[in-house]
Amino acid sequence: MMQIRTLNEIPEIKGKKILLRVDFNVPISKETGEIQDDTRIVESLNTINYLRLKGAKVIIMSHLGRPDGQVKEELRLTKVAAHLAKLIDTKVQKMDDILSDDVKKAINEMEDGDVLMLENLRFRAEEEKCEPNFTKELASLGDVFVNDAFGTAHRKHASTAGLADYLPAYGGLLIEKEMKALSPLLSNDIARPLTMIFGGAKIDTKIGIIKNFINKADYFLMGGGIANTFLHAAGYQVGESLCEKDKTELAQEIMLECEKDREKFILPKDVVVADEVSNTAETATVPIQDVVGNMKILDIGRLSADRYCEVIEKSGTIIWNGPLGVTEYEPFQQGSKTIAICLANHSCTSIVGGGDTADCIKRLNVPVEAFTHVSTGGGACIEFLEGKPLPGIEILKK
């Protein structure tokens, strides 16, 4: 495992002001303003409780949405703070600013074990720019920096990496958990065969990880919009399906690299098609060579799902990133559901990466506990497995 400084290495926690970066970028309903999925908050509880029960003054920092340096009322962290208070059964003092005199006064008045939450960090443009003066002033609020936001660890922002220039930096329990689960996948000491399942919309977000594992993985199973790009590159018609035709050459290069082992890179043989994307869409399952006209490929077919399950059942390690269909709509959930259930019932090491995949599993009512590890990071998980250094992790290395 990658060696990082962890919570148990903080010399003295009691009485210290801990600046804790978490990822509370949770989905909030536009209609009701209520939190739709609190997974990211729940995943941070172990670190928050560890610190406050050790007598730290816990100052929570997070972002929400993309306010682009502007104050946006609907992106305030007020409801997030209220929800956290319920989960930890402790008052969470929510501030309406980040670096005001009121914030500094409130922090100075904190007792040991108190929890305070700053306002959405991205209301300040300097956060994403990692602007030195802003970072230094932010650092002045605390004695120690703890990063527990794996979901933003691939960003070099003031609160994810910059604070380490001014404060001693440690990884929280969630970061430690992610490192323990993901680090072994970068070595060759893993259970074989190694199978990688890719779905989702875009090839360019997955290209680095595919290339990094092209000589390590035993199987690649493709679904979602990314499969359409490969099918198009292989000479099939994809109708009006989501397809990055400008990535045809790239897709052909990858398939060519896998050509010496024709069973290594597996594309759908049949697909679920429809004319529209809705919960009432009329669907048909057709062989891939029968896709014509304005058909849209919106899921893998039953034969393909069964074939993928055959590979899963003989695999020792599986990494899954991206839904295999448009799982927001019921008619296009079956492919992903078949794979999720098959994977959940298999005793292999199963790593699920990316927020969309985790959301998909929840939507399909497959228990997350059935998988070895469900990562809280989408882009961060992908970049880590690509072998890229993550700024929010690099600053924690021993």
- Positions marked active-site: 40, 202, 355, 379
Please, what is the Cα angle at 252 between 241 and 375, to 5 degrees? 70
End-to-end CA gap in the chain = 12
How many other C-beta atoms are found inside a 10 Å radius of the C-beta of residue 365?
9
How many other C-beta atoms are found inside a 10 Å radius of the C-beta of residue 205?
18
Tell me the three state secondary structure of residue 326: coil
For the purposes of burial, counting CB atoms within 10 Å of the CB of 249, is it exposed (0-12), middle (13-18) or buried (19 or more)?
Answer: exposed
Buried b (16+ CB within 10 A) or exposed e, 92-129: bbbbeebbeeebeebbeebeebbbbbbbbbbbbebbbe
Nearest to 52 by CA among 78, 90, 21: 90
Cβ distance 48 to 85 under 8 Å?
Answer: no
- The long-range contacts involving 302-306, CB below 8 angstroms and separated by at least 24 positions, are 302/270, 302/334, 302/338, 303/269, 303/270, 304/223, 304/268, 304/269, 304/270, 304/271, 304/335, 305/334, 305/335, 305/338, 305/339, 306/338
3-state secondary structure 246-293: HHHHHHHHHHHHCCCCCCCEECCCEEEEECCCCCCCCEEEEEHHHCCC
Helix (H) or strand (E) holding 391: helix 391-394
How many other C-beta atoms are found inside a 10 Å radius of the C-beta of residue 36?
10
Tell me the three state secondary structure of residue 21: strand
